[in-house]
Amino acid sequence: MAALVFAVAIGNEVNKWLKDAIGRPRPDQEHLVNVASLSFPSGHAMIGMILYTFIAFILIKELKSAKVKWVTGILAGVWIFLMGISRVIMKVHYPSDIAAGFAAGFMWVFLSIVLYEALRAMFTKKAYEKRLS
């Protein structure tokens, strides 16, 4: 759970930094929801990618059935995609904002999962060695 919270919280800060660094304004159209931040990359797309991909990863690791693993991955992917599309439909993002949010979110969740697995392996090995002593 701590790894998930870390991935999402730091990912959110990375998203804010990227928005400030790029400084792209939102579309000029009337928005269907209130928004106050900059447009690029989409925070919903980025954080959604991080959150739901990490949750799907954890679930898939624990599931036994290959069919259920596939269904879990597909449902997570569809959910993430629909979240991104909804931001364009609400006229608060350009499609490129969503694509960049997905890309940045994927890179961040990939790094988070690699770090999680490395730390998990390290602590599991230390716990095993401690039991042998």
Neighbours of 11 (CB within 10 A): 24
Domain that holds residue 85: 2-108
Domain membership flag for residue 114: no
In a domain, 17, yes or no: yes
The CATH number of the domain where 27 resides is what? 1.20.144.10
In a domain, 124, yes or no: no
Task: Indicate whether 123 belongs to any domain.
Answer: no
* 86 domain-assigned: yes
The answer to whether residue 21 sits within a structural domain is: yes
Q: What is the DSSP string of 22-81?
A: H-PPPPSSPPSS---S--SS-HHHHHHHHHHHHHHHHHHHH---HHHHHHHHHHHHHHHH
The per-residue pLDDT for 31 is 65
Closest Cα to residue 4, out of 59, 72, 62? 59
Q: Is residue 58 part of a domain?
A: yes
Which of 14, 93, 98, 116 is catalytic? The answer is 93
Buried b (16+ CB within 10 A) or exposed e, 29-38: eeeeeeeeeb
- Our count of domains for the chain comes to 1
Considering 40, 44, 49, 98, which one is annotated as catalytic?
A: 44
Q: What is the pLDDT of residue 39?
A: 79
Specify the pLDDT at position 126.
72
Question: Is pLDDT at 11 greater than 90 in this prediction?
Answer: yes
Residue 129 lies in a domain: no
pLDDT 10s digits, 18-43: 998 988 888 787 766 777 787 789 98
* 118: pLDDT strictly greater than 70: yes
pTM of the predicted model as reported, rounded to 2 decimal places: 0.84
Q: Judge whether 44 counts as a catalytic residue.
A: yes
CB 54 within 8 A of CB 114: no
Of residues 35 and 103, more confidence is placed in 103
Residue 31 annotated to the active site: no
DSSP string, 76-102: HHHHHHHHHHHHHHTTSS-HHHHHHHH
